[in-house]
Structure 1
Amino acid sequence: MKRLITTLVLVLATATAVYAQPSSQTAIANFIGKDGKETGRAALTQGKTGVLIEVEVTNLPPGQWVAFHIHETGKCDAAHNHESAGKHFNPGNTEHGFLAANGPHAGDMPNQYVGADGVLRGQVFNSMVVLDNAENGIRGRALMIHAKSDDNRSQPSGDAGERLACAVIE
């Protein structure tokens, strides 16, 4: 009986340790606004052919479309307008925008609508990226919300305007 209890305890301890580890199939990104305060979160899930990004961010310009991108560097320095996140993630060295002849970047995603309450709530599936271990992997990079909508043509970033909120993909 003592051996059975010891075995059960060992099995439970192992199972707990396995489930406590972060999954390589999921990631979280906490948004930081221009003021340096946390303003929202994204949950990312690896799918068979890309990554699903579920996002909710507050304190944005109400009632308008805003650009939503993946940027190349996982740094969000609000004191310097989130410029630390670098350019759009572009491992294929393509043009910016869904409407560009040789686009889009892997980090280009559809514009998102901010409700009258100043909250962006959305789900975006990006088939050009994966979470880990590949040239197009995005863990450790940044998600960015811009002040204006992306025109999907202008080079190099769609004339999307100022960087309002940034989140490192953990």
Structure 2
Amino acid sequence: MTKWMLFSGLIFTVLLGGCTDTEDDMEETRNHGTEPGIETSGSLNDETDKIDVTLYDGDKETVGNVIIRPVYNGVKVTLEGSDLPPGTHGFHIHENGICEAPDFESAGGHFNPTDAGHGFEHPEGPHAGDLPNIEVDQDGNVFADALAEMVTLEKGENHSLLKEGGTALIIHSGADDYESQPSGDAGERIACGVISE
């Protein structure tokens, strides 16, 4: 009887240890390749699903690179830039995939398939293409992550960045105040990059 109880206890301990390892493995799998607040799903974080965008200034010099990846709740926009004016700058997705220097007016207005108001602080906003301001340091460098929850990279969808003709990313000379119409009083367009396949 004592041997049987000892054997049962040993089996229970082994099973319990196996469950703990499995739970740890599952937690590691759930968190692999993610950042706080940005959940990836299935194959959406595969390297083949990302879009690379090069940003150019008005002199057609490269000033930044952006990686756009689909995530569970929209797209993640990762910007790495240099040789930009220090300070706070508006950063938006625009409706046309055309970047004609020097003023980049060819990119049109903000990407806004739902005809919303501009700005995170506007009662009828934001535009699908509104992104948080970026902060460029005194050396002209910036690294920023943003989540655009109202857009997708799925072709054929009304709010897809890969619509016919593409879309564009724009950096402005000043800060977006998140409420002025139609573009947050962010000033001139100082950098542009086309979002396309």
In the alignment, what sits opposite 1:82? 104
Is residue 58 of structure 2 the alignment partner of residue 38 of structure 1? no
Deviation >3 Å, runs of 4+ = none
Where 1:78 maps in the other structure, the secondary structure is coil
The residue aligned with 2:80 is 56
Task: Give the gaps of 5 or more residues in structure 1.
Answer: 1-21
Give structure 2 stretches of 5+ with no counterpart: 1-46
The residue that corresponds to 1:6 in the other structure is: none
TM-score normalised by the chain length of structure 1: 0.83
SS in 1 for 2:67: strand
Q: What is the aligned-residue identity percentage?
A: 42
Return the alpha-carbon distance in structure 2 between the equivalents of residues 144 and 59 of structure 1: 15
Q: Give the alignment's TM-score, normalised by structure 2.
A: 0.72
Structure with greater helix percent: 2
1:108 corresponds to: 130
Paired letter, 1:36: K
Partner of 2:10: none
CA distance in 2, matches of 1:151, 1:29: 25
Q: CA deviation at 1:132?
A: 2.5
How many residues align? The count is 146
- Report the aligned-residue RMSD: 1.1
Structure number with greater CO (CA < 8 Å, separation at least 6) is 1
Aligned position for 2:191: 165
CA distance in 2, matches of 1:146, 1:57: 13
- Quick check: which has more Rg, 1 or 2? 2
Q: What amino acid is the match of 1:77?
A: E
SS of 1:65's equivalent? Answer: strand
Deviations 1:53-85 (A, max 9, x none): 1111222111x1100000000011113x00010
